[in-house]
Amino acid sequence: MKLIKAIIRPEKLNDVLKALYQAEVRGLTVSRVQGHGGETEAVETYRGMSVKMALVEKVVIEIGVSEPFVDAAVKAVMNAARTGEVGDGKIFVLPIDAVHRIRTAEKDVAAVTPVAS
Report if residue 8 sits inside a domain: yes
Q: How many domains are there within the chain?
A: 1
Would the CA dihedral through 32, 15, 22, 91 be positive or negative?
negative
E strand map for the chain:
2-8, 29-35, 43-46, 49-52, 56-65, 89-95
Give the pLDDT score at 14.
Answer: 98
Residue 117 lies in a domain: no
For position 79, which CATH number holds? 3.30.70.120
Parent domain of 53: 2-112
Burial of 95 (0-12, 13-18, 19+ CB in 10 A): exposed
Structural domain includes residue 67: yes
In a domain, 60, yes or no: yes
Which pLDDT belongs to residue 69? 92
At 51 the pLDDT is 66
pLDDT along the chain (117 residues), means of 10: 97 98 93 81 68 82 94 97 93 96 92 70
- Residues 23 and 55 sit within 8 Å (Cβ to Cβ): no
